[in-house]
Structure 1
Amino acid sequence: MLFKKKLLVFPTSRSIRNFISTQKSSNTLLPFTLTIDELFKKSINLNNMKYCEEEQRVLFLSEAIKNTNIQKLGISDNFTKFLKQSDYIYRFFLELASEKVEIKDIQNVDTYDFYLEHLQILETIKTNYINILEKNSYVDRINLDNHYKINENFLKKFEEIELHFEGYFTKVEFEIVEKISKFINVKINFYSNTYNQRSLEVFKNMNIDLKIDFNYKIDLTNKLVLQEEKNKKNLQSLEIKGFSSRLNQIAYIKDSIVKSVQKGVNPSRIALVLPDETFASYIQLFDTEKYFNYAMGKTIKNTNLYQVAYAIYSYLSEDDIKHISNLDFLKLDKNFIDKNIKPIWNKRATKESFEFISEFIKSKESSVELLEKYEELLYKLNIIVFSNDNVILLKDVYKIFLQKLVKLTLDDVNSGKITVLGLLETRAVEFDTVIICDFNESFIPKISVKDKFLSTKLKQLSNLPTQFDRESLQKYYYKRLIDSSKNVFVTYVNSDTNQISRFANELFDKYIKTDTNDNAYKHILYDNHKIKHIEEEIIAKIDLSMFTWSATSFKTYLQCKRKFYLQYILKLKEHSISLKPKAYELGDIIHSILEDFYTLDENSTELSFEKIESLFNKYKSTNPFLILDLEIWKKKLYEFYLLDKQRLKHRKIIALEKSFSCEFEGIKIKGVIDRIDSFEDSYEVIDYKTSSTLSVDTLKNYEKTDDFQLEFYYLAMSEMYKTDKIEAYYYDLSNTQLINEIALDKKLELLCEKFNELKEISKNEIYFSKCEDKNNCTYCPYIIICNRE
């Protein structure tokens, strides 16, 4: 005869582990343990039917909605969008099936037929879906009640079952438990408080009178109360603090941990509860002490696999500099993506084309655990997308893939002692210290998608769980957690857009202050000390006479020798991944448009303004900061077009963007001339300027100049065309006027002096000093290095 044992049933795997850890000191055989979900699966048979998995369910639902006007439910029949929205329908059907309520029952109580059309559509979809399940020999929780039988062979292994009940039994679930109790003795342990009375109505229907704030053990088989004990509150201390931002809560969380440990609390008996589990990714960023282990697993967002997958999607969705730079940062070959993935991105997806991309992404990851989960995801996704004749673009398949990929998590092993978990993971688990963050209206109560189709009143009339019932259940979980803990720390965001949850006044018997506490704790996260800059002098032996100068580099040198050293000697690059355009970006686009405009046709007098407008479309930007500027410049260039059209009746453009390299006073200079016109027997060299505050040197102030751009152009022209018949102009595009460089001769003499100074100072060490005029520092990228903020 087999030895029979007691079976203990808990809400979660964590509660099982918690129970086992409390038995380590006992010298006894442990009972069998299962979660409630495992009990339901093992204690029933499905009569040779197969259980429908999520991937198959989505396909069956997408088939069930065909020939229905599903758009009237606010749900798209587009396959890609339906993949995300199908959960709304399924959860609604699941709630009905779990509570044994038919749609016709809802129609009967919908006196004014407010929901008649919606309910008729849902009835059709449900009928179609169940027929598809039955036809393919599948069982889902929607039709489970019609097919299951109690698995007596499994139950015979035990002498009794003791179930730790936390939460809510649906009608179908409780019927299964009742049927089990007819084969084997079943005892149920539960905790009663003011918030879970609806959950306990099943016991009241057995004529078992229950009191509020008691622990009970009930013999379900014999309908007897075996134990009734008044709830004991363990709470010794409670703190509630408000902060102006979510991140600043982390400082308080760390402080609460330190306080608890100093009180003698074992770190493994401390829990951080997250109403919004996505906040775990922020906790990880600041977990420098390695305090935490994450019950929900660690996000894969920082892995190569996800970074590569996201970078490809971002680049193919928007060909922007920041996305291109990200490809380069991740060492992804842009040419490979352009050649192999871009051409098929907007075409119908095939299994082969998607496999090609997924294999490329896979090749960038080395984690065995992640790759196993990745392969499983791909397998399931292939079932969803490619088992039917779905006409879907590759980019849409990829979007679905990315949505599912980001939900993958890695098991958190060998981490800290303090557990980070969601609210449902706290069921039937007790801690000495509990820290609850984000106690805000936006997260507590958590909104359910089950309430999408019907009003609360109609649900109440139909005997379905209402929003009020769900909120009460959440209050029950929080109250159960708080009452069983010794120390509770609660934190919330207090700002113009965030307020503490309305649950707070019910759950905490304490006056809640609405002040913020950021300053008291921010030193824990942030180092408030001022950056210590190295103020040492920079002196180097560099022969600047051997340098090849552009007008820009020479201007930088004259304005600030320190900036010149950092930019041109050390070659420190400015951070470039930013939505906000650099000062030169707009000018570069206008220069490119004018270059393209005048190279379209040799006979520039016949060029039309429509060609300029078309070129603006070519250089159209998705950058919101540039869109308006380009539209303004499109109008400004019309005035330029009219003026230049008149000028070119007597002139001819002979060069655009002309590169040059020559010498002056034994020093090499280089650059690119925007435009050269010929006029009679002379030449006109032109530099386009887009600045609205163009300042040109005069004979009175030229001695203080640092701008020798037109002088560089003049010297290059003299070398190229062996002539001195040259006029130099700035083309002020903002104000539509040509401005002559009237101090040209004087500035050439000054440039000669400056170059001779370069040769002279290069004989010794050069002191690269900071500029005296701090106005030059305002937009300088090296302002922090130089401590000129």
Structure 2
Amino acid sequence: MPAFLEKLTKHIYTNWGDRLGDICIVLPNRRAALFIKDHLAKILKKTSFLPEFYSIEDFVAHCSGLTITDPLRDQFTLYALHRDIEGDQARSIEEFFPYASWMLSDFNEIDMYLVGREQLFNYLSDAKAMAMWNPDGRPLSDFEKRYLRFFRSLKQYYYGLNEMLSGKDMAYQGGAFRQLAEDIENSSEAWPWEKVIFAGFNALTPSEEKIVKHLLKTGRAEVYWDADKYYTDNPVQEAGTFLRRYFKDFGDTEPLWKEDNYAQQKEVHIIGVPKNTGQLKYAGELLLKQLKEKGSLDSTALVLPDESLLLPMLNSIPEEAGKFNVTMGLALKNTPLFSLLDAVLSIHHNAERFSQMREGRQRAYYSKDLLDLVKHPWFGMLSADISEKTHGSLEDMIRKSNRIFFPATDIVEILKTYIPEPAISNLFPSDPGPLNVLASLSGLLTTFRQKFIDLRKDGSHDLGVELEYLFRFSNLLQRLQELVQTYKSIDTLRTLQMIFRQLSGQERIAFRGEPLQGLQIMGMLETRTLDFDTVIMLSANEGILPAAKMPNSFIPYDMKQEFGLPTYRHNNTVFAYHFYRLLQRAGDVYLLYNTEGGPLGGGEKSRFITQLQHEGPKYNPGIHITEKLLSMPPQPGIRDTAIVINKDESVLRLLQKEAKKGFHPSSLNIYINCPLQFYLSRLIRVEESDDIEETIDARTMGIVIHEALRVIIGGHLHRPLDKGSFQQFKKIADAEIKRQFGKYYHEDDISYGKNYLIVNVALNMLKQLFDREAAWLDDGEELFVTALEEGLSTSVQIKGENNISQINFKGTIDRIDSKAGKVRILDYKTGGVVAAKLKPETWEVLFTDPEYSQALQLMMYAWLFHKNHTEVSELEAGIISLRAPGRGPVMMHPPDRRPVDTEVLEEFEDHLMGLLMEIVDPDIPFAQTEDESRCKYCSFKTICNKTVSNFSY
């Protein structure tokens, strides 16, 4: 089965061998020309002029004589028009730019498809007016009027843009196609070629079709198709939709070339693999298999419909594969250097934004932005010794400070300990305007470039790709500087970052490689006109192949259908052709898809695969299709079985140390929830992540309220408190709450926004509590608070088969008081309290179900109090909910609703001993809980490889 381009080359040589310089060859992409030139070089017997080669876009630009504009500059032109049209009602550039991008996309399609412009814009305006019409006669709102005016003005934007460009002999791509198509009869007369050969096309736009038809009609063109009977002769096969029409419209009774490659034998392997990492690993194994069986990967294509897999795929290619070529290119936004530069821009953009909110205060940097910067892998390169010290200690310092904002002077002073002065100035320029920030970023790139060059000199690092990143971003920053100087509307860092992100998404790094040898790595569009013996395709999933998303547009779907503009159906048909054409000459095909779905679905193989499974063997029994589903092989660090920690000597020593130190009620509750969690948090002390509190969290608010209560009420211990006492407490609550919050946050961080609201919520909780405390007392009734934050301890002796003979217990009781002669143990809670969970029906429930953790805590407090005050034979224990103080203390009731007396506390101790014996029993390991609902809020679930769904059905 000769490849399409090889066959085309031989045909051209046979017919134009002596006159190759008289023809022009137009192809779907530039890469195909490399293969034709290579084939010609092998068959030419003497020196000869070669044909001129063009992609269809380059051909139109050349023949029209127009300069194709930069889309970004077109957006600025549209914004200038927007300000002229809207005047004082104009949107900001950040708001308008996404609309400008949609406009350009629509204008391109309108012109590529030769749509009647007046008719479409009038139709669109009328359609929107009908949609906004109110049958009840209600007048349009200001928003509705503005919305309608915008759609009516689309025509002004279109003609305004084209008028400005035509005066400079410029056009956006669609405009150039329209102009050449509408003037093809005149302009083609001056072309120097005897023949224009169009080869390998499928879905021509009406403008392209008009150009080709005219040249065919005048004998100036030839068309060569890359088609197969499998999809062209089947009237319902979508891959052949366009070709069937062209054969008819162009008068091709015997089109060149329609072959029957699907009549040949094929081995098609459909493999479902969980996760993208599984696909990458399996693809690497397939490459090794192909290399072993065939000795070379010269005719092997690795196709990635999902371009986000390019970098991880490059890291998964085995070394034995040798040289390879990457055709698809990598967007700059997918490189690590982009994330570093974007982090720096975010630092300054947010500082600019916050300085407007915090008027009159010094410029300050947001801690989260600073953490994004210092955690970046490249940031450590700025340190003199390139050690992890730069990452770790600086990150820890920022986190432990618990500051939301760092003044500019402070962060500069802090960084002096970690990185040299030039880098600090480039990261934090003294005057961070758009141009200065860009100049600083350029200086930062220079620092990295020198660092990488020095590393390459010692031969231990290649860093060729990293240096390419630096080169491309240097050019991008230079371009941005030119744009800032040209367009005065780029006057804020927010605008600058928006343009930076857009450019980084458009610009691509073309990886160097050998385009004619070795493994070829490409996207779907890059496969056009190329043929391979072996095709390995990843991400052959529905929603990716074909793509589920269509570009944003102002033109509704039904109107696109009416005017012949492309819809998602058109795109699906185009992708179908690319898929079946790529497979038609391949003998071995491997189609991998991700079996893992998301919360909203997914994990399905492409409809094209299902179609091939159904139709292929019927068309040709020699098409052998196999399908298999793979399970993910065990990965290092990922456990498929439960984690079990046996209590060997080292673990028992840790347990003995903890027992001597003292168990708290929270320790026992953690054990009941999950023994492994107890081991991780209490024995080996695995630290939970210590994130900066950007807004005051519930834990800090609880601590603050507890401390405020201790200070306010603490000066009146053992004194009678009546209604008036609590009204006096209210008067000093405001100052005390703010003083307590000041221990954790800078004054600036609690004086606005969410934190300001939370401080007031805490204050209201305190005042409402004092109001309710007064209301709970009858006139003349008094209350005695005897202790606040009272620390109590005791110990018990146990008999076990290890060296643990004594266990100590500790607990801190929020409040101990007496009312009407009854001792009360009270715990303050800022969270919710469920009264039913303070009333366990049995002791077993109390010691096995973590939902009764508050009841267990109160029983522990009562037991500790009784151990220290044996003279008290009966007491009460309950919770005061600061969230809902109106309900009064919610009291805990032991099983059978008995009072908390000496008998009950002795029973409690018996069951407590049973739990302790289990904890210290060397034969009972610390194992994961089997109830995964308990893992939902556990900080260690990643260690256990637990994934807990947040969805309920």
Normalising by structure 2, report the TM-score: 0.56
Distance 1:679 1:326, change over 3 A: farther
Paired position in structure 2 for 1:63: 80
Q: In 2, distance between residues paired with 1:98 and 1:275?
A: 25
Closer/same/farther in 2, CA of residues 561 and 59 from structure 1, 3 Å limit: closer
Q: Following TM superposition, by how much is the alpha carbon of 1:306 offset from its aligned partner in structure 2, in angstroms?
A: 0.9
- How big is the shift at 1:273? 3.1
Contact 1:16-1:33 at 8 Å conserved across structures = no
Q: Match of 1:474? A: 575
User: Which whole-Å CA distance do the structure 1 matches of 2:115 and 2:499 have between them?
Assistant: 33
Which of residues 62, 71, 84 in structure 2 aligns to 1:43? 62
Counterpart of 2:853 in structure 1 is none
Distance 1:21 1:5, change over 3 A: same
Contact 1:270–1:419 (CA under 8 A) maintained in structure 2: yes
281, 300, 304: which one aligns with 1:270:
300
1:376 paired residue number: 475
* TM-aligned CA deviation for residue 403 of structure 1: 5.3
Residues 629-678 of structure 1, C-alpha deviations (whole Å, 9 max, x = no match): x99999999578513775799579899879x99999xx999998856989
Is residue 644–residue 927 contact of structure 2 (8 Å, CA) maintained in 1?
no
Q: What amino acid sits opposite 2:581 in the alignment? A: R
Tell me the secondary structure at the aligned position of residue 589 of structure 2. Answer: strand
Letter in 1 for 2:62: S
Q: Does 2:406 align with 1:338?
A: yes
Distance 1:370 1:400, change over 3 A: same
Compared CA separation, residues 529 and 548, structure 1 to 2 (3 A) = closer
Change (3 A) 1:404 1:669: farther
Contact 1:11 1:166 in 2 (8 A): yes
Instruction: Give the 3 Å change call, closer, same or farther, for CA 375–323 of structure 1 in structure 2.
Output: closer
Give CA deviations for 1:579-627 in whole Å, capped at 9, x if unaligned: 9x9xx97455333234357768998534559989x9999799999xxx9
Letter in 2 for 1:272: L
> Which residue is equivalent to 2:93?
79
Q: 1:762 aligns to what? A: none
What's the TM-score once normalised by structure 1's chain length?
A: 0.65
C-alpha contact 1:676 1:686 (8 A) present in aligned 2: yes
Shift of 1:520: 3.8
What corresponds to 1:223 in structure 2?
Answer: none
Question: In 2 relative to 1, CA 434–588 (structure 1 residues): closer, same or farther, beyond 3 Å?
Answer: same
Q: Does 1:434 align with 2:535?
A: yes
Which of these residues, 283, 297, 309, is aligned with residue 342 of structure 2?
309
Following the alignment from structure 2 to structure 1, what is the Cα–Cα distance between the partners of residues 703 and 317? Answer: 49
Instruction: Name the residue aligned to 1:221.
Output: none
Post-superposition offset of 1:376: 3.3
Task: Give the corresponding residue for 2:648.
Answer: 537
CA, structure 1 residues 558+188, in 2 after alignment: closer, same or farther (shift >3 Å)? Answer: closer
Q: Which has the higher helix share?
A: 2
What one-letter code is carried by the residue in structure 1 that aligns with 2:173?
A: R
- Map 1:627-666 onto structure 2 (within 5 A): 642-643=772-773
How many residues matched?
A: 729
Does structure 1 retain, via aligned residues, the 8 Å contact 2:366–2:406?
no
Rate the CA distance shift 1:23–1:132 in 2: closer, same or farther, 3 A: closer
1:137-536 counterparts in 2 under 5 A?
A: 138-141=170-173, 143-144=175-176, 162-170=197-205, 172-173=207-208, 187-192=222-227, 194=232, 198=242, 209-211=251-253, 214-216=255-257, 230-233=259-262, 235-239=264-268, 241=270, 243=272, 247=276, 264=294, 266-280=296-310, 283=313, 294-298=326-330, 301=334, 303=336, 305-306=338-339, 309=342, 313=346, 329-330=375-376, 331=391, 334=398, 338-340=406-408, 350-352=433-435, 354-355=437-438, 358=441, 367-381=466-480, 387-390=486-489, 394-395=493-494, 397-399=496-498, 401-402=500-501, 404-405=503-504, 410-412=509-511, 418-436=519-537, 437-440=539-542, 443-444=545-546, 448-449=550-551, 452-453=554-555, 455=557, 462=563, 469-491=570-592, 497-498=601-602, 509-510=615-616, 520-523=629-632, 530=641, 535=646
Query: How far apart are the structure 1 equivalents of 2:290 and 2:492?
Result: 54
| Helix, strand or coil at the partner of 1:733 | strand
Would the aligned equivalents of 1:533 and 1:785 in 2 still touch at CA under 8 Å? no
Aligned-partner Cα distance in 1 for 2:607–2:279: 19
1:737 counterpart residue number:
889
Q: 2: CA distance between counterparts of 1:788 and 1:107?
A: 55
* Matched residue SS, 1:509: helix
Counterpart contact for 2:676–2:929, Cα < 8 Å: no
Deviations 1:241-286 (A, max 9, x none): 4749664665765676566556638434222334443354675686
Partner of 2:727: 605
SS at match of 1:488: strand
**Pairwise CA distance, 1:350:** 4.4
- Give the one of 54, 76, 88 matched to 2:71: 54
Q: Does the 8 Å CA contact 1:685/1:713 hold for their aligned counterparts?
A: no
CA deviations 1:451-481 (Å, max 9, x no partner) are 7515557655x56556655544333322322
CA RMSD of aligned residues (A): 7.1
Partners of 2:34 and 2:642 in 1: CA distance: 48
Q: 1:121 to 1:459 in 2, by over 3 A?
A: farther
CA–CA separation in structure 2 for the residues paired with 1:434 and 1:211: 32
Distance 1:706 1:463, change over 3 A: closer
Percent sequence identity over aligned pairs:
15
Instruction: Tell me which moved more, 162-171 or 309-318.
Output: 309-318
Q: CA deviation at 1:56?
A: 1.1
Residue of 121, 127, 133 corresponding to 2:165: 133
- Gaps spanning 5+ residues in structure 1: where? 217-228, 697-701, 719-723, 755-765
Distance 1:90 1:783 in 2: 48
Return the letter of the residue paired with 1:339: P
Question: Post-superposition shift, 1:425?
Answer: 0.7
Q: In the alignment, which of 80, 99, 105 is matched to residue 91 of structure 1?
A: 105
3-state SS of 2:489 partner: coil
CA distance in 2, matches of 1:598, 1:591: 10
Please tell me the residue identity of whatever aligns with 1:215: L
After TM superposition, give the deviation of residue 210 of structure 1 in Å. Answer: 0.6
- Could you tell me whether the CA contact under 8 Å between 1:688 and 1:733 is conserved in 2? yes
- Quick one: distance in 2 between partners of 1:36 and 1:321? 49
Q: Which amino acid aligns with 1:732?
A: I
Gaps of 5+ in 2: 1-18, 130-147, 233-238, 355-364, 377-390, 412-427, 453-465, 619-624, 716-724, 742-748, 796-806, 841-845, 847-855, 882-886, 893-899, 914-919, 948-953
Residue 326 (structure 1) shift: 5.6
Deviates more, 1:631-640 or 1:325-334: 631-640
Separation in 2, partners of 1:708, 1:652: 22
